Amino acid sequence: MKLTVIGYWGAYPEADEATSCFLLEEGNTNILLDCGSGAVSKLQNYKSLKDINGVILSHYHHDHAADLGGLTYSRVVDINLKKTDQPLNIFAHEKDRNEFNKLGKPPYTNVQPYNGGSKVEIGPFTFQFQQTKHSAPCYAMRIRSEKSAGTLVYTADTSYDENLIPFCRDADLLIAETSFYADQDAASFGHMTSSEVARLAASSGSKSVLLSHLPHFGNHRQLLEEAEAGFNGDIQIAKTGANFNL
């Protein structure tokens, strides 16, 4: 499976960038993990919108879900123009019924719920979920493909949570939200610091880490150095278009 970073900012996108969104590909299956603000624009540099099979939303905060409306409208247009006949699959949790009920536009979309015990299968991919510690209900995702050996884990938004250690166990790539620097209080905001990310990566035996959901302050190099101090594996800072083969 191939993962491409479409957006990696927390809260809001910097100019010409996007907040959380990752493109996951294997064969003809193209899935988005989250669809934050700016994502629909940036995504088109890598993939035609009509070829996106589905979106898995970790939670309903705008920096993860803002562009789902635009992506849905693109499917309305593309189906009516007969560029595709496939509805957009949207997977989201139901812990916020109000938000869940607003998703989708039938028959152009197919909205399906998941929860902590769900095993969602799309094409070659299998997704498992675990709720994180965040200011709104949010789920981390553990992803495997029947055509690849690697395991991908995406923390989505969370403060440091020991319960995530077994969920992240032996990940080949851990996409970890890194919203704050080591000396800051991330937990009160429902997020992690660079050193907490390193602790999660080290204690779960993850092989490599991608720092994402980055802050709009400080110097991101410092995040990298702080994470490297607590984790011996490979660590990279998210950049638009960076891709990983697992």
3-state secondary structure of 89: strand
| Beta-strand relationship, 54-56 and 21-26 | unpaired
Please say which residue, 62 or 147, places its beta carbon nearer to Zn ion.
62
CB of 226 to Zn ion, least distance (A): 20
**CA gap 204, 206 in Å, rounded:** 5
Do the beta carbons of residue 195 and residue 227 sit within 8 Å?
A: yes
CB of 211 to Zn ion, least distance (A): 14
Q: Which two tokens stand for residue 220?
A: 């991101």
Give least dist CB 134 to Zn ion, A: 6
Closer to Zn ion by CB, 64 or 144: give it: 64
**Percent helix, strand and coil across the chain, each to the nearest 5:** 25, 30, 45
Q: How far apart are CA 64 and CA 150, in angstroms?
A: 24
End-to-end CA distance of the chain, in Å? 5
| Contact call for residue 63 and Zn ion (CB under 5 A) | yes
Q: Which two tokens stand for residue 93?
A: 């949790």
Binding to Zn ion by residue 67, rule CB under 5 A?
no
Total number of residues binding Zn ion (CB under 5 A)?
Answer: 3
Print the binding letters for residues 195-214 with Zn ion: x by CB under 5 A, - otherwise: --------------------
Tally Cβ neighbours within 10 Å of residue 96. Answer: 14
Question: Binding string to Zn ion for residues 5 to 44, with x set by CB under 5 A, is what?
Answer: ----------------------------------------
Nearer to Zn ion, 42 or 61 (CB): 61
By CB under 5 A, residue 99 contacts Zn ion: no
Identify residues 125-164 at the interface with Zn ion (CB under 5 A): 157
Q: How far is the CB of 69 from Zn ion (least distance, A)?
A: 17
Question: Residues 61, 75, 144, 199: which binds Zn ion (CB under 5 A)?
Answer: 61
| C-alpha pair distances (Å), 237 with each of 64, 212, 246 | 18, 7, 17
Give the footprint of Zn ion on this chain (CB under 5 A). Answer: 61, 63, 157
